Amino acid sequence: MANTSNVTQLIIIGLFQDPEVQRVCFVVFILVYLATVVGNGLIVLTVNVSKSLHSPMYFFLSYLSLVEITYSSTVVPKFITDLLAKIKTISLEGCVAQIFFFHFFGVTEIFLLTVMAYDRYVAICKPLHYTTIMSRSVCRLLVAGSWLGGIIHSMVQILVAVQLPFCGPNVIDHYFCDLHPLFKLACTDTSVEGVIVLANSGLISVFSFFILVSSYIVILFNLRNHSAEGRRKALSTCASHITVVLLFFGPAIFLYMRPSSTFTEDKLVAVFYTVVTPMLNPIIYTLRNAEVKSAIRKLWRKKVNSVVE
């Protein structure tokens, strides 16, 4: 951190101040987090074990589920333990590390969702060339590019933050570390840094969302030439992806494409995309996908049979 900083420990206000509410939230959020890890972990395991789920769509889905686990794990475990703590603290270095990984995995997820939309576009609009365009090497390259994009984005965010001097106060009005709450603690003007964050975070979200929407408009236009059964299957797959996109991008654009504030509503919106959305993704993809449900049942039966034998 900058040499002029004399703050080494930060106090986190948290989501709620009522001890009873915090205890209830502890039980609820620990169950949600366990469901997130188990649900997404089950998808990763199923895709890697099942021979019927080796298409590019499921290849990307397994990496999306892996990112969901890591993304949620950067915030939720600390958040849950803080619910039982009287004084919620984090070191300045730990705060910066949390910001780095939170933005790293968050933007990686944005790029993966965009890649998944491109995969559906090729599958529906260019079916004869699908296997050639979406070869295994291309899929690996797209996933690697998503991770690399996340790292570059997060490095920019951190380079902005570490240049700031922090000389007090040391109270973050949030339940985890993010750039806007941290900027409010800097003992210097952060308007330029705020514009950089807006350009880096907000514009990535908006442009990626624009690409996603454009892709699905083209897909829906091309579905007119498909059979009724083909349209039904394509729409079922796309509906799951569109639902996940809206759940993720809606709150992100709401928070990062406008001036920062400390409204309680902002914290609740942040809870939605850091805690709830990662849990919903495996439910959305499995409930609407017969192949995934069938593969999970086969995996479960295989596990039960091995235990019985």
Q: What does the pLDDT look like over 66-123, one tens digit per residue?
A: 999 999 999 999 999 999 888 899 998 999 999 999 999 999 999 999 999 899 889 8
Q: What is the pLDDT of residue 259?
A: 58
Backbone angles phi, psi at 206, to 5 degrees: -65, -45
Q: Stretch 144-173: mean pLDDT, rounded? A: 89
d(CA 194, CA 183): 8
In whole angstroms, give the CA distance from residue 19 to residue 84: 8
Q: Tell me, what's the pLDDT at 222? A: 81
- State how far the Cα of 117 lies from the Cα of 95, in Å rounded to an integer: 33
Q: Counting Cβ atoms within 10 Å, is residue 187 exposed (0-12), middle (13-18) or buried (19+)?
A: middle
Q: DSSP 3-state assignment of 260? A: coil
User: What pLDDT shows up at residue 162?
Assistant: 85
Exposure string of 66-85, with b = 16+ CB inside 10 Å and e = fewer, is bbbbebbbbbbebbbebbee
Write down the pLDDT at residue 307.
59
Nearest-angstrom CA–CA distance, 74 and 77: 7
Q: Output the pLDDT for position 257.
A: 61
20 token code pair: 């009873």
> Is the pLDDT confidence value at 226 over 80?
no
* pLDDT at res. 63: 95
Greatest mean pLDDT among 36-40, 258-262, 303-307 lies in 36-40
pLDDT tier for residue 30 given thresholds of 50, 70 and 90: very high
Which pLDDT score is estimated for 305? 66
Is 70 exceeded by the pLDDT of residue 256? Answer: no
- Residue whose token pair is 């942040």: 270
If you search the block for the tokens 């624009």, which residue do you land on?
210
Summary mean pLDDT of the chain: 84
Segment 189-195 mean pLDDT: 82
Pair of tokens at residue 40: 């997404």
Minimal CA–CA distance to 273: which of 22, 76, 39? 76
How far is Cα 98 from Cα 263, in angstroms, rounded to an integer?
Answer: 22
**What does the pLDDT average to over 146-152?**
95
The pLDDT value given to residue 272: 85
